[in-house]
């Protein structure tokens, strides 16, 4: 079985991607290759940040790998938080503070259109390929659900009456931005 390094140690992301790969490729995390480096995301787009991660790992370890960058874009906030989604309120990964800042920034704004976007940069045998997934939805005024992570408790995808945080992992994996991008990635890998 071929191996592929996912340039992350985010357990939620690993779980989502592993579910999509369904045992076709052995997915390794940064911990699995003993990489504990802090890869600084200094890009201004999702594609740039994804590429920074995959190139760093490929150049250092010479392994097939991919990096991703994802975020929430809210129309009424000029597509913020965007690439700053994980650190929107200042501290990286403080989901509660990030959600609070989004809800405060939106206030009673009636335009609550938003989307989650994921861009994957795959480096396979030294060549870089990009895959992108988006899902449109709206931002709820209150938190709902205990599942998922990040902004999932306030994001309601179009066509559903629940947030990502109210869905099972399987339900979310069938429609999420990451699932769409990973599906493109797996189709590419299966075509090799």
Q: How far is CA 110 from CA 85, 116, 140, in A?
A: 21, 19, 11
Is 69 catalytic? The answer is: yes
**Pick from 61, 186, 191, 168: which is nearest to 122 by CA?**
186
**DSSP character for 28?**
E
Structure tokens at 39: 């890869």
Catalytic one of 37, 68, 69, 152: 69
How far apart are the C-alpha atoms of 192 and 178, rounded to whole Å?
Answer: 21
Is-contact 50 121, C-beta < 8 A?
Answer: yes
Q: Is 140 exposed, middle or buried (0-12, 13-18, 19+ CB in 10 A)?
A: middle
Count of C-beta atoms within a 10 Å radius of residue 87: 15
The catalytic residues are 69
């Amino acid at each position: 079985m071929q191996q592929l390094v996912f340039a992350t140690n985010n357990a939620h992301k690993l779980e989502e991607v592993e579910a999509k790969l369904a045992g076709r490729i052995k997915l390794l995390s940064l911990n699995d290759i003993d990489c504990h480096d802090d890869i600084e995301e200094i890009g201004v787009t999702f594609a740039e940040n994804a590429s920074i991660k995959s190139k760093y790992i490929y150049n250092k370890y010479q392994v097939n790998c991919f990096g991703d960058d994802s975020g929430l874009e809210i129309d009424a906030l000029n597509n913020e938080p965007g690439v700053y989604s994980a650190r929107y309120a200042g501290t990286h990964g403080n989901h509660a503070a990030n959600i609070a800042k989004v809800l405060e920034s939106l206030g009673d704004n009636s335009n609550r259109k938003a989307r989650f976007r994921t861009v994957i940069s795959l480096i396979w045998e030294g060549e870089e390929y990009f895959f992108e997934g988006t899902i449109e939805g709206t931002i709820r005024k209150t938190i709902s659900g205990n599942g998922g992570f990040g902004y999932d408790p306030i994001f309601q995808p179009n066509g559903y009456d629940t947030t990502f945080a109210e869905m099972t992992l399987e339900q979310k994996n069938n429609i999420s931005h990451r699932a769409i991008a990973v599906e493109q990635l797996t189709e590419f890998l299966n075509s090799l």
